[in-house]
Structure 1
Amino acid sequence: MVKVTHLLFDCDNTLVLSEDLAFEACAEVLNRILAANDIPDRYTGSQLIADFVGMNFRGMLHALGAKFALKISPEDEDKYVKDEEDQVIATLLQKAEPCVNCTPVLDELHKEGKYGLAVVSSSALRRVQASIKKVGQDVYFPADHVFSAATSLPKPTSKPDPAVYLFACEKLGKDVKECVAVEDSKSGTLSAVRAGIPVMGYVGSYHGKEKQEEMKKALLKEGAYNVMTDWTEFRTLLAEFEKAEKL
């Protein structure tokens, strides 16, 4: 039997409906960078979601730098990351909402006290903290149980790199097999899988049943053990991990 002691949640579009808002703000910053470098291409928020969902802004800068042969100094990179973070946080603090049916599940888990709860995100720590605070979920996650690939690590990175999950498990004092990760993206799923952590996928934040089915197949292909389309399925699917003899 598998003893699950900790639940590790991605934040964006897993706990908080933040991706659409964040990518709109992110696109504005990226387009300013492209314009400043005389590159005519421009992005919309939806185009960034299609290309970079699950990746933090620093990761996007590296990807775009490779695509457009764009040379960004470390100093400018840090400035752009801060600009994007400020713009996204301002938007989230105004408009962010919790994922449908998520908060009641977190509240139940918190009251039971059976599992340790943590957030493991690619996004900057300030952004994650702003998101969960705006929707009232910060009460479920102590400050030392919120981890960011962009901020918490000695060397910033982004999912699908497994570093942030390995770091979180180390800080929590838990073996990866004692944890279950909840992820909505391919990069996030792959990050946890590469760390050796069993994954429950979540596709409820994707628009339309067709897209949800497409992403369900994609997350399973990346190694998710099972996938929920609504948070009301969480306890049933969590039980599958606890009953499994081998993952």
Structure 2
Amino acid sequence: MQQPQHPELDLGPVRALLLDADGNLFASEEPAFAASTGVTNDFLAWLGSDHHWEPADLQAAALGRNFRSLAGDLAAEQGVTVPDDEMETWVAREQDVVTRHLAATLVPDPAVSDALRLLADRWQLAVVSSSALGRLAACFTAADLDEVLPVADRFSAQDSLPAPTSKPDPAVYLLALERLGLAPHEAVAVEDAVSGARSAVGAGIPTVGNLVFVPEPERAERRRALLDAGVVAVVEDWDELVDLLGLQEERRTEVSA
């Protein structure tokens, strides 16, 4: 079997792949920010700001972070202290709007699910996300990924930690390592966003950047940014990740069967 050619990716001790969700396992970024923009603009108005985001600008500014993190930054910029109960109301509203939209929008992608099932034959798979567990549940069901990535193997920076946070804070990756009984070198993370890559790298985990759902005009810039964030390699899609991880022969056998 051909082995991965990247010198910094030693798969010998690896026991698990830790996978970001949004923009990595399904094309959820654009519909999520389209749904989130209205809530974000309402929150800005509540803060006393007259600024209004367009979905593309909001996505560029907040990619890889959850609404709680973004809202906290927006409030700080306005010099407004948001009471905890008020923040929870806004977070719940945004989560509800986005979750319902994603549940109605996402569809299964065989290129992703086939690669995941192949990878799951070799390594344990887990999800490490900034998104809330409720949103993840709707996405995984819509994308038909519940079987390969069940609820017990999902970690949320929003819901799984004692105090909610968001990538690039490495806390959610550190939690996943602890719960799975892994040292950092016993895992490989797969991330599409720079903030997610910084989170995984900050936890000491070898990380691969994945451009699978990044629009073509943005790929060269995203590749550079991911490499600057410390990833050991960048792939174009899940097929290339399978090749990088040395499972070409298994894929050829599966295709020919």
Does 1:94 find its partner at 2:101?
no
What percentage of residue pairs aligned between the two structures are identical?
A: 39
TM-score for the superposition, normalised by structure 1: 0.92
Q: Which residue of 1 aligns with 2:183?
A: 175
Q: Which residue of 2 aligns with 1:122?
A: 130
Q: Which residue of 1 aligns with 2:117?
A: 107
Deviation at 1:94, TM superposition (A): 0.3
TM-score for the superposition, normalised by structure 2: 0.88
Does 1:81 find its partner at 2:88?
no
- Whole-Å separation in 1 of the counterparts to 2:245 and 2:79: 45
Aligned runs of 1:208-227 on 2, under 5 Å? 208=216, 210-227=217-234
Q: Which residue of 2 aligns with 1:132?
A: 140
Secondary structure, in 3 states, of the residue corresponding to 1:140? coil
Quick one: which amino acid aligns to residue 172 of structure 2? V
- Whole-Å separation in 1 of the counterparts to 2:109 and 2:159: 24
Aligned residues of 1:23 and 1:48 also touching (Cα < 8 A): yes
- Whole-Å separation in 2 of the counterparts to 1:177 and 1:202: 19
Does 1:3 find its partner at 2:13?
yes
Aligned runs of 1:145-156 on 2, under 5 Å? 145-156=153-164
Distance 1:3 1:56, change over 3 A: same
Distance 1:188 1:222, change over 3 A: same
What is the number of equivalent residue pairs in this alignment? 237
Deviation at 1:98, TM superposition (A): 4.8
Does 1:166 find its partner at 2:174?
yes
Secondary structure, in 3 states, of the residue corresponding to 2:17? strand
Aligned residues of 2:44 and 2:74 also touching (Cα < 8 A): no
Per-residue deviation, residues 212-238 of structure 1 (Å, max 9, x unmatched) = 111011101100000111211012222
Per-residue deviation, residues 113-168 of structure 1 (Å, max 9, x unmatched) = x2101000001111111111111011111222100001100011000000000000
From 13, 21, 37, give the equivalent of 2:23: 13
Distance 1:221 1:147, change over 3 A: same
From 221, 234, 237, give the equivalent of 2:241: 234
Deviation at 1:100, TM superposition (A): 7.3
Q: Which residue of 2 aligns with 1:55?
A: 65
- Whole-Å separation in 2 of the counterparts to 1:98 and 1:202: 18
Quick one: which amino acid aligns to residue 51 of structure 2? D
Aligned residues of 1:17 and 1:97 also touching (Cα < 8 A): no
Q: Which residue of 2 aligns with 1:243?
A: none
Quick one: which amino acid aligns to residue 61 of structure 1? A
Gaps of 5+ in 2: 1-9, 248-257
- Whole-Å separation in 2 of the counterparts to 1:68 and 1:98: 41
Deviation at 1:200, TM superposition (A): 0.6
Aligned residues of 1:149 and 1:158 also touching (Cα < 8 A): yes
Aligned residues of 1:204 and 1:212 also touching (Cα < 8 A): no
Gaps of 5+ in 1: 241-247
Deviation at 1:99, TM superposition (A): 5.9
Quick one: which amino acid aligns to residue 245 of structure 2? L
